Amino acid sequence: MLDQIGNLNPQLLRELKGRLTWRNILIVGALSIVAQVLVFLWFYGQLPTPEAYQYNPYCGHMVGGEFIQGCTENVSAKTFAIDWMLWWQHFAQALHTCIPFVLMLSGTYFLLSDLQNEERQGTLDFVRLSPRSASSILLGKILGVPILVYCAIASLLPLHIFVTSRAGNLSFLPSFYMMLAAGSYLIFSFTLLFGFFSKSTLKRSAQALGVTVFYVLMVGAIFVPGYIMWNSETVWKTLLTAPILYITSPDSSWFWFSLPISNNTAIAHLFTLLNIAILNGWVWQGLARCFHQPSTTILHKRQSYGLVFYLQSLVLGLSFQTYVSKGTDAPQAFGTVLLPIVLNLLIFLPLAAILSPQRQTVMDWARYRHTQSPRSSLLKDLLFHDHSPAGLAMMVNLAIAGILWLGISTFGTDRIWNGTQPNALLVLISLTTLALYAAIMQWLVIQKTSKRNFIAIALITILLLIPPAFAALLSSRGLISIPLRDIVLLTSPFLWSVSPEVVSPLAVLSALLGQLSFIAGINALIARQVRQIGASEMKDRFARLQPSGSAQ
């Protein structure tokens, strides 16, 4: 069997041989058994007893042959009964929640740690020399590096099946594991992409552990709960008696534009799996590119335009949700402002980091532009050349998002906005904020300092959190006016907290003018610095060539 695996995927065989030892398998098996026993004992300890049964969530009593949930002081110790169905449902719900966290967090940690070791030891360069394709090698890593985690999840399967069957949701398990596999493959692929993107940091053991832990925490705080919530509210909504995790009303429905997602199990599965497949396609384009060319950017600028159009279409369709229960048709509170602003933040900040070339890359591009004949168009280079500064490309990407939002707010008022077009204005202002952050990031990564990447991350984080926090604090103490607080909030990711109906036009205009002024100023600094870099490189080159020329 191992020979067959080696013929199909030598990288997978290499990973399995290094990890599937009897010692590791016994340790994983023992830890899994201990964890299952502890979880069972914890839930067993929650059951009511004759000494402690009142107000217990699993306690009930019989009235006229009918089971009534709840035990008060009027229920005696002799007449109370245990609500076993609720107990099994909560037990199953805990397993449904814990298994994705265990699989995805452990898997991302092992994958990043493996890349860290490969980069430090230099073995990844030898792997690149293999005649096998990048997809075969990286697929071997995804399947082989977290193999012990897969074994742990497999050992939980008997308990999971038994508990879910007692809870009355056994038909839910095939969907659960199908979506779990799809989501894990997506986040593991993205983890490899993140590992290649941060390869310079992973080579330094002092910083690698911090980067790995931070990334795993972000996956655990954003992706895993978000993925569980999405599936709980759409894909599994009709399969579960109670949702696992949700942020809207259990009676609400999800739409993508006019397509009902959560009301139809087949549509929900197809929609989710199709988008996961599309996202995986984009991720693997970046993986194939940076695996063979480690020093290049992850995405072509041309590719980024298509990616942004796809992601904005997805975000737009999901941003306009309406309640369908109890005869209401009111927009959900988080839908038309908070959701697109948060998702755009998660889209455009990583995109700016991916497209922004480092100082040496910009120097090579500036030298190339001065020496080539005939000289290429500067506009074409800025739009499509991957080594040129990313400012104009980011502005085009943000313009794509802005045009889509303007089109929806202009032509889709009756169906989507219900007369609340000011929400679209807040989203457009958030795009100018992201343009400012992208310009700052590009300016910082072309500086001479060796800590430029760390400085860029630290400064963007400070700009994200500190100004709105101080504005809210000072406003609550009466130290600054409400219009001034609104101006600061409008230039931050927290502008969704500003009511679009009551914010003053002056605050909106001031925020926009201030941001556009800073964007223009920073891009002017970038252009000036790039010209200086190109000129200094040419002077140094001629200075090195001049002695040899005079000697002749």
pLDDT tens column, 267-293:
999 999 999 999 999 999 989 888 887
What percentage of the chain carries pLDDT values higher than 70?
78
Helix axes 84-121, 22-44, angle to 10 degrees: 150
Q: Provide the 10 A C-beta neighbour count for residue 539.
A: 10
pLDDT of residue 534: 64
Per-residue pLDDT for 494 more than 90?
no
What the block records as the tokens of 543 is: 């200075």
pLDDT of residue 176: 94
pLDDT of residue 415: 44
CA distances from 97 to 29, 85, 116, 265 (A): 21, 18, 29, 20
Q: Provide the 10 A C-beta neighbour count for residue 387.
A: 18
Query: Which class for 328: exposed (0-12), middle (13-18), buried (19 or more C-beta within 10 A)?
Result: exposed
pLDDT of residue 542: 52
Tell me the average pLDDT across 474-491: 80
CA 21 to chain centre: 34
How confident is the model over 155-208, as pLDDT tens digits? 999 999 999 999 888 888 999 999 999 999 999 999 999 988 877 555 565 677
Least-confidence region, from 93-107, 406-420, 452-466, 498-512: 406-420
Least-confidence region, from 27-31, 49-53, 297-301, 361-365: 49-53
Per-residue pLDDT for 62 more than 60?
no
**How many helical (H) and strand (E) elements, i.e. helices and strands, does the chain have?**
21, 5
DSSP state of 324: -
Instruction: Please list, in sequence order, all residues whose beta carbon lies within 8 angstroms of the beta carbon of residue 123, skipping any fewer than 6 positions away.
Output: none
DSSP state of 282: H
How confident is the model over 541-550, as pLDDT tens digits? 555 555 544 4
Tell the residue number behind the tokens 């049964």, with chain if given.
53
**What's the one-letter identity of residue 106?**
S
CA distances from 492 to 6, 430, 436, 469, 489 (A): 52, 7, 10, 10, 5
pLDDT of residue 413: 45
List the one residue out of 192, 217, 243 whose CA is nearest residue 89.
243
Q: Radius of gyration (Cα) for the chain, nearest Å?
A: 28
Taking the C-alpha atoms of residue 425 and residue 423, their distance in angstroms, rounded to an integer, is: 5
What percentage of the chain carries pLDDT values higher than 90?
25
Tell me the average pLDDT across 332-345: 66
- φ/ψ of 40, rounded to 5, equals -65, -45
Highest mean pLDDT among 3-12, 139-148, 424-433: 139-148
- φ/ψ of 259, rounded to 5, equals -85, 115
pLDDT of residue 202: 56
Tell me the average pLDDT across 296-319: 87
Average pLDDT score over the chain:
80
What residues pair up with 49 in beta bridges, in sequence order?
52
pLDDT of residue 49: 74
Strands 80-82 and 255-256: unpaired
What residues pair up with 67 in beta bridges, in sequence order?
62
Least-confidence region, from 93-97, 117-121, 243-247, 338-342: 243-247
Tell the residue number behind the tokens 């005649």, with chain if given.
131
* HEC string for 113-182: HHHHHHHHHCHHHHHHCCCCCHHHHHHHHHHHCCHHHHHHHHHHHHHHHHHHHHCCCHHHHHHHHHHHHH
Domain ranges of the chain: 304-324+331-544
Instruction: Please list, in sequence order, all residues whose beta carbon lies within 8 angstroms of the beta carbon of residue 183, skipping any fewer than 6 positions away.
Output: 100, 104, 227, 276
The CB-side HSE value for 161 (13 A sphere, CA atoms) comes to 7
Per-residue pLDDT for 66 more than 70?
no
pLDDT of residue 23: 93
SS3 198: coil
pLDDT of residue 339: 73
pTM, 2 dp: 0.84
Q: Are 192 and 141 in contact (CB under 8 A)?
A: yes
Instruction: Please list, in sequence order, all residues whose beta carbon lies within 8 angstroms of the beta carbon of residue 447, skipping any fewer than 6 positions away.
Output: 359, 455
Instruction: Please list, in sequence order, all residues whose beta carbon lies within 8 angstroms of the beta carbon of residue 537, skipping any fewer than 6 positions away.
Output: 363, 366, 367, 370
DSSP state letters, 253-277: --EETTEE-TT-HHHHHHHHHHHHH
pLDDT of residue 41: 94
What residues pair up with 81 in beta bridges, in sequence order?
60
Q: Which helix (H) or strand (E) holds 66?
A: strand 66-69
What the block records as the tokens of 501 is: 């109906």
Summarize the chain as % helix, strand, coil (round to 5).
Answer: 70, 5, 25
Instruction: Please list, in sequence order, all residues whose beta carbon lies within 8 angstroms of the beta carbon of residue 93, skipping any fewer than 6 positions away.
Output: 242, 244
pLDDT of residue 324: 41
pLDDT of residue 543: 55
Taking the C-alpha atoms of residue 533 and residue 220, their distance in angstroms, rounded to an integer, is: 41
List the one residue out of 7, 231, 206 whose CA is nearest residue 99.
231
What the block records as the tokens of 481 is: 């006016």
What is the number of residues in the chain?
A: 552
Q: Provide the 10 A C-beta neighbour count for residue 536.
A: 13
DSSP state of 78: T
How confident is the model over 130-145, as pLDDT tens digits? 788 888 999 999 999 9
pLDDT of residue 361: 80
SS3 82: strand
What the block records as the tokens of 551 is: 């000697």
Q: Which helix (H) or strand (E) holds 442?
A: helix 422-445
Q: Are 500 and 429 in contact (CB under 8 A)?
A: no
